[in-house]
Homo-oligomer: A and B are copies of this chain.
């Protein structure tokens, strides 16, 4: 049953075996390979196929039981009870600590914010545009001035939230708020390292201004492109800084 592994990319360094097996099992459920109501292979079988101890398999199963994705009964087996998290779409708090998962979260953010920028360009009211501009200026001051690192992150988040708000679509705003909250601490750590290395966030300031200009001009295609570029670059910057941190630890 090596095909259990086929879809799982090389797993994050530092992730425990329990984390890894949890991901494999979860993927088998959400991908539909194990439909809702179906029975899982026994823990012993899974342990053999995945080449880990039964201890690790039980750890993974117990987590997914806590999420409501699996249920088990002594003597019968374990079953898929739901193919989605009980409480909507959620990101595990520890996931942002794994660079691979973090990059995936950033990818999702990209998909969502690129289109948000386009909607914002089409629909932003004067008030929205003013807030976007204000957030861009605040970010500018925070980065070029002598403000603390925290102010920079907050201004950054404020800008992106303003763009999401300007879509006039509360789901964009809601999803951004959730992703932003999940990323806040990590962004803070990254920016801290950036400052230590001499600071490289002036690019981000210019990118914010460019996006704000495109939205103000009502050019949705341009807003899309500039947002894409900005998120690609800032994602690379963040991941680069975090890699420095992890390397420094070792």
Interface membership of A181, Cβ < 8 A: yes
Shortest CB-to-CB span from A225 to chain B, Å, is 12
Q: Which of A1-56 contact B (CB under 8 A)?
A: 6-7, 9, 16, 18, 23, 26-27, 30-32, 55
Copies in the complex: 2
Q: Which residues of B lie under 8 Å from residue A83 when comparing CB positions?
A: 177, 181
Of B9, B89, B173, which contacts A175 at CB under 8 A?
A: B89
Q: Are A172 and B107 in contact (CB under 8 A)?
A: yes
Q: A201 CA to B23 CA in the complex, in Å?
A: 36
Interface membership of A110, Cβ < 8 A: yes
Q: A26 CA to B58 CA in the complex, in Å?
A: 20
Q: Are B26 and A170 in contact (CB under 8 A)?
A: yes
A85-B178, A170-B23 are contacts. A31–B68 as well, Cβ < 8 Å? no
Identify the interface centre among A67, A74, A127, A177: most chain B CB within 10 Å of its CB. Answer: A177
Q: Are B169 and A107 in contact (CB under 8 A)?
A: yes
Q: A93 CA to B158 CA in the complex, in Å?
A: 29
Q: Which residues of B lie under 8 Å from residue A112 when comparing CB positions?
A: 108, 111-112
Q: Which residues of B lie under 8 Å from residue A237 when comparing CB positions?
A: none
Q: Which residues of B lie under 8 Å from residue A114 when comparing CB positions?
A: 111, 115
Range of interface residues on chain A? 35 or more
Q: A45 CA to B90 CA in the complex, in Å?
A: 33
Interface membership of A209, Cβ < 8 A: no
Q: A31 CA to B161 CA in the complex, in Å?
A: 8
- Report, nearest first, the 6 A-B pairs whose CB atoms are least far apart: A88-B90, A111-B115, A63-B66, A89-B178, A66-B66, A108-B171
Query: Can you list 29 A-B pairs, Cβ within 8 angstroms, ordered by A?
Result: A18-B62, A30-B174, A30-B177, A31-B165, A32-B158, A32-B161, A55-B55, A59-B59, A62-B62, A63-B65, A63-B66, A66-B66, A66-B67, A68-B93, A71-B93, A71-B94, A84-B178, A85-B87, A86-B90, A87-B88, A88-B89, A88-B90, A91-B171, A107-B167, A111-B111, A111-B112, A111-B114, A111-B115, A111-B116
B-binding residues in A (CB < 8 A): 6-7, 9, 16, 18, 23, 26-27, 30-32, 55, 58-59, 62-68, 71, 74, 81-94, 104-105, 107-108, 110-116, 119, 125, 127, 158, 161, 165, 167-175, 177-179, 181
